[in-house]
Amino acid sequence: MYILALETSCDDTAAAIVEQTVDGVFVRSSVVSSQIALHATYGGVVPNLAAREHAKNIVPVIEAALREAKLIRTDIDLITVTQGPGLIPALLVGTTAAKTLSFLWQKPLLGIHHIEGHIYANFINQIPQSNIEHQESIFPLLALVVSGGHTQLMLMRDHFQYDILGETQDDAVGECFDKVARLLGLPYPGGPLVAKRADDWRSLISDPAKNTLESSQIKNRESSILFPRPMLESGNLHFSFSGLKTSVLYFLKKHEADLKNEDFVSEVCHEFQEAAVDVLVGKTQRALEEYTPHTFIIAGGVSANVRLRNRLRNLLDERFPDTTFLTPEFQYSLDNAAMIGAAAAFRFAALSPDAKQALTASWRTLDPDANLPITPL
């Protein structure tokens, strides 16, 4: 079965063709048109500008996805789209396009929660349907959801059963990366740049040949900067990142002149990232101890962070060798439509024949929801 998936919840216009077979879910094409250059001028996403770009790009992106998959519209069995959460003007473009195609092509239409998409990105090209090696169940499954809008630890006892164990009490971790980038004068979107600068610093201090710097802390290979690890010892699985951002802000106010020094900026990126990763890894460890899941996955844009992936990999290898650790392929970590198609493939397969039939009329009722809750079947 072939699924056409659309995603326009933020600043990427994305379409994908996903194929579901007995062996699993595979991506036939995944097209993402990014609006980074447009929003960089404003230092963040401007919802109405995002919507205008989506409206311009959505049809060419759908055409490209079909062309790359070498399919035509009659090959498509299901249309799916991100229904929320996200920016309403942006979501409206995707949902309107999906509803129009569903009506014109007479295909069933399924709305998907954006975070469910990020979670199911882990199953693309990876596992046959609901089973992993040796037909052993992948559940219970622990998910660390880390994106621009979400920071959560979730326990899934089965497909589409989401038990939120802990979540951020204020900023999301991706948002915190972006805000710190802004404080440092790095362009939008800052998260990947902070990560890159942190890596630069790591290679600088670990390679004496490159280390021609005078600063005593570099010579000692230890930074004198120490940012807090908020709520690390809170005794629960909740997070908080606004205090970390504020302490970076106060620190930089005291060291304004140093911002001209590129190595200083890289060092701050590194120490900030260590603080954020320490909290994410510490909370994950606590959840793994408490719930001993069969599978652990990471989901959302911050799952592209290599330092976070490596630290989690070490934690699993050393402390939880019986838990399978899945990560999305890098191209499916950030916003894309293939992940929406993957979630739709699993959801559609689990529906009753009547519920499947009802989807042929959902173009009448499917509306975007900026605060869509994640729900069971």
Binding site for ligand KG4 (CB under 6 A): 10, 114, 147-149, 174-175, 177-178, 189-192, 195, 300-302, 304-305, 334-335
Partner whose footprint covers residue 192, from Zn ion, ligand KG4, none (CB < 5 to 8 Å by kind) = ligand KG4
Burial label for 135, CB within 10 Å (0-12, 13-18, 19+), is exposed
Residues 312-351 within binding reach of Zn ion (CB under 5 A)? 335
| Closer residue to Zn ion in complex, CB, 171/200 | 171
- Round to whole Å and give the CA distance between 215 and 213: 6
CB of 292 to ligand KG4, least distance (A): 28
- Round to whole Å and give the CA distance between 317 and 313: 6
- Round to whole Å and give the CA distance between 100 and 89: 17
CB of 98 to ligand KG4, least distance (A): 19
Which residue in the block uniquely carries the two structure tokens 């990105």?
A: 121
Check if the beta carbon of residue 272 is closer than 8 Å to that of residue 184: no
| Closer residue to ligand KG4 in complex, CB, 178/200 | 178
The tokens for 72 are 């035509």
Q: What one-letter code names the amino acid at 57?
A: N
Burial label for 245, CB within 10 Å (0-12, 13-18, 19+), is buried
Count of C-beta atoms within a 10 Å radius of residue 319:
11
CB of 45 to Zn ion, least distance (A): 12
Partner whose footprint covers residue 30, from Zn ion, ligand KG4, none (CB < 5 to 8 Å by kind) = none
Partner whose footprint covers residue 94, from Zn ion, ligand KG4, none (CB < 5 to 8 Å by kind) = none
The tokens for 156 are 């899934």
| Closer residue to ligand KG4 in complex, CB, 20/305 | 305
Residues 90-149 within binding reach of Zn ion (CB under 5 A)? 147
Partner whose footprint covers residue 336, from ligand KG4, Zn ion, none (CB < 5 to 8 Å by kind) = none
Check if the beta carbon of residue 121 is closer than 8 Å to that of residue 25: no
Partner whose footprint covers residue 267, from Zn ion, ligand KG4, none (CB < 5 to 8 Å by kind) = none
CB of 303 to ligand KG4, least distance (A): 8
Which residue in the block uniquely carries the two structure tokens 């399919």?
A: 71
| Closer residue to Zn ion in complex, CB, 108/189 | 189
CB of 350 to Zn ion, least distance (A): 23
CB of 356 to Zn ion, least distance (A): 27
Check if the beta carbon of residue 246 is closer than 8 Å to that of residue 253: no
Q: Is 305 in the site for Zn ion (CB under 5 A)?
A: no
Residues that bind Zn ion (CB under 5 A): 147, 335
